[in-house]
Amino acid sequence: MSTTVTFLGLGVMGFPMAGHLAHAGFNVRVYNRTAAKSQQWAEQYAGTVHADVPSAVAGAEVILTCVGADPDLISLYEGPDGIIANAAAGAVLVDHTTASADVAEHLAAKAREAGLGFVDAPVSGGQQGAENGQLTIMCGGSDADFSRAKPVMNCYAKALNLMGPVGSGQKTKMVNQIAIAGLLQGLSEALHFAERAGLDAEKVVEVISQGAAQSWQMNNRAGTMLAGKFDHGFAVDWMRKDLSICLDEAERNGAALPATALVDQFYGDVQAMGGRRWDTSSLLERLRRIRPV
């Protein structure tokens, strides 16, 4: 393909996502704040490593980002050395970061002033989904911008949907995180109860996963949770960042999120236990330490 795409941010998600673009035959450019990560990427995939943002984005038709949080986005997109000041007129900017709807709307407005398109496109599926090209992508933007970016995002998407105007992707991701937080707490309590009751917890999961209690989290995490393995990618620190965004947005729109606020506090307990880098299913470990089996 002749389309030139730039991917900025080669973390646990961005690294394989950019790799899928290379495998699809796009002319891929990459930039990462830590240059060694870019070099590591180039050893595995076909593409061009750039040492700075201006050279990475100049002339690219689609520019994708996947970084940490709102302040990282502002730093990356704005200023004389940022994406907006250096992208070619008509380029479409696609942000895969889980961030606030406010920052998406702010960056979209700045992009429009510069003659650029913008799509907020947070993802769900974790590191495994990124590596397998099986991410769920929730987008906000215009039909035209989404249509131009869609063939690029399809390289690593299982599901790809335009949810509404800019900011809608981020708000949909908030819904996703709210649902996951509640599911994981419920699953953790169920497994803890089974252990305390002296049941064969693995057999219990096998039985109840055939009924109304079944969920993706149960199918994919119950076994590792029971084994005390909490190294499946999406860290507690990241989840707390996401839940903070959800709770802030709820303050603005008037939504009541009592369970989400409580689970956020529980994740704070996990952090205090030393589990900042454990994955989000580690809520079970908190219960085990409160009431050991």
Catalytic residues: 173
Give the strand pairing for 117-120 and 92-95.
parallel
The pairs formed by 41-45 with CB atoms below 8 angstroms and a separation of 24 or more are 41/10, 41/15, 44/19, 45/18, 45/19
- DSSP helix/strand/coil, 101: helix
Instruction: Please state, in angstroms and rounded to a whole number, the distance separating the CA atoms of residues 206 and 224.
Output: 14
Across the chain, which distance is largest between two alpha carbons, in Å?
A: 65
| Joined tokens for residue 227 | 């084994």
Residues linked to residue 157 through DSSP beta bridges, in sequence order: 135
Strand stretches in 83-142, DSSP E: 92-95, 117-120, 123-124, 135-140
| Joined tokens for residue 282 | 């580690």
Q: What are the angstrom distances between the C-alpha of 229 and each of 76, 98, 107, 222?
A: 35, 25, 39, 10
| Joined tokens for residue 226 | 């029971």
Q: Indicate if the alpha-carbon torsion angle 261, 230, 277, 64 is positive or negative.
A: negative
